[in-house]
Amino acid sequence: MAKESKHKMSVILDDVLRNVISHAYPEGGRHDIEVRIECRDGRVITTVTDDGITFNPLLRPAPDTSLSLEDRQVGGLGIHVVRQMADEISYRRRGDKNELTLTVLIGQSSGAV
């Protein structure tokens, strides 16, 4: 796998998993997070599944990055970075689980970081 593709997927997974751990379980307790990674057809396809509260990151509005740091709302930049770095993103709620699928093309300069 190309170095750039590895870096992109590393940054994406770091942010997605931090968000799940930090926000998906307001009641605490023990929960499982499943990460499935496949390499096929020139793509790295990663699916993150959790049983946290329903959250579709694709419905979050993009932050206004033209504002100064003082004028921006807190939060949302991680999701913005994930959207910019991933070549494809899909979300679905399956029963009581969130399923986020992220795709990065291997060896191509894609995404707008």
Task: Report the phi/psi class of residue 25: left, alpha or beta, with left for phi > 0 and alpha for psi in -120 to 50.
Answer: beta
Write out the DSSP string of 95-106: TTEEEEEEEEET
Residues with Cβ within 8 Å of 2's Cβ and at least 6 positions away in sequence, in order, are 106, 107, 108
For residue 44, is pLDDT > 60? yes
Secondary structure letter of residue 59 according to DSSP:
G
* Local structure of 44: helix, strand or coil: strand
Tell the burial category of 65 from Cβ atoms under 10 Å away from its Cβ (0-12, 13-18, 19+): exposed
Q: Which residue has the higher pLDDT, 4 or 33?
A: 33
Secondary structure letter of residue 61 according to DSSP:
P
| Kind and range of the H or E run holding 43 | strand 43-50
| pLDDT tens string 56-104 | 999 987 776 776 767 766 666 778 889 999 999 999 999 999 999 999 9
Mean pLDDT over all residues of the chain?
87
Would you say 20 and 33 are in contact if contact means Cβ atoms under 8 Å apart? yes
Which domains does the chain possess?
3-25+34-105 (3.30.565.10)
